[in-house]
Amino acid sequence: MTFLQTVWLVTRKDILIEARSREIFFTTLFFAVSCVLVFAFGFVREGKPVEDAAAGILWIAIAFSGTLALGRAFERERQSETLRALLIAPISRPALYVGKLVGVLMLLAVVELIVVPLVAVMFQAALFEHALLMLGLLVTGTIGFCAVGTLFAAMLVRARSRDVLLPVLLYPITIPVIIAGVRGTAALLQADVDLPMARAWLSMLVFFDVMFITLALWTFEPVMTE
């Protein structure tokens, strides 16, 4: 079985389970929308959002709901010991990692498909003005966040107090992603759009993704071996 076939099988399994129950999708989406709502009370003054609020709220909603999705995706594997079964299967470990990563990414992409327009409408943010750059920031930012998150969530399956430890480990390490996402988006939203700045952040995110996916592929094998 080739690498890509394995990836597809693992991803397809996750999509099938999710399509039947839609549990993670609905809970994550509802959580993301609640996040946006809660932050609105902090950052809307006299009916108008404060400067840069939309960019910050959008990325915090993505990061928070992403953590929730990551935790649930692996909790599901733990309940019936299916992660152990996957690890015993004669497939390459990196393919397993990529398969899970793609599954989580697709889920978050669907959530973002709803949350991004919602933020644009509720905060009068011109998120679709420079749609391609915005899309690039969203894609690379989500990949960077999930690349680290998938590895950590997978390895924490065996740990005690995993629910608390996932955000504790994930947020300090993904801070560059959050900064790049927020500042890149803010550069696109401000009164005089700063395209070179947005591009600089985008390229930082690409570097981050390449570096951390490589590291994760490399460490997944030893970390998942008991």
Partner 1 sequence: MKKLFLVLLLADAAMLAYAPVLIVNAPYEATMGLVQKIFYFHVPSWMAMFTSAFVCGVASFFVLFTTRKTADRVGAAAAELVVVFGLIGLITGPLWARKAWGVWWQWDAKLTSALILWLIFVAYLLLRRYGGAGSEKLAAAVGLFGTANVPFVYWSVNVWRTMHPTTAVVPSLQPGMRGPFWFCALAFLGLYVVMLTLRVRLENRRAELETLYLAVED
Q: Give me 70's structure tokens.
A: 């990551």
Matching residue, tokens 């010991």: 81
Q: Which is nearer to partner 1, 46 or 226 (CB)?
A: 226
Q: Is there binding between residue 192 and partner 1 (CB under 8 A)?
A: no
Does position 204 interact with partner 1 (CB under 8 A)? The reply is yes
In the complex with partner 1, which residue's Cβ is closer, 7 or 204?
204
Q: Is 161 left (phi over 0), alpha (psi -120 to 50) or beta?
A: left
Q: At what angle do helices 23-43 and 3-21 cross, to 10 degrees?
A: 80
- What is the Cα–Cα distance from 201 to 180, expressed in whole angstroms? 5
Cβ proximity to partner 1: between 79 and 161 the closer is 161
Q: Tokens 């995110």 correspond to what residue?
A: 205
- Quick check: 207 binds partner 1 (CB under 8 A)? yes
| String marking each residue 147-176 x if it binds partner 1 according to CB under 8 A | -x--xx--xx-xxxx--xx--xx--xx-xx
50 binds partner 1 (CB under 8 A): no
Pair of tokens at residue 185:
């988006």
If one asks whether residue 95 binds partner 1 (CB under 8 A), the answer comes out as no
Query: What token pair was written down for 45?
Result: 């003054």
State yes or no: residue 39 binds partner 1 (CB under 8 A).
no
How many CA atoms lie within 13 Å of 73's alpha carbon, on the beta-carbon side?
35
Cβ closest to partner 1, residue 106 vs residue 200: 200
Sign of CA pseudo-dihedral 168, 69, 213, 143: negative
Stretch that binds partner 1, among 43-51, 57-65, 117-125, 218-226 (CB under 8 A): 218-226
Residue numbers at the binding site for partner 1 (CB under 8 A) = 148, 151-152, 155-156, 158-161, 164-165, 168-169, 172-173, 175-176, 179-180, 183, 200-201, 204, 207-208, 211-212, 215, 219, 222-223, 226
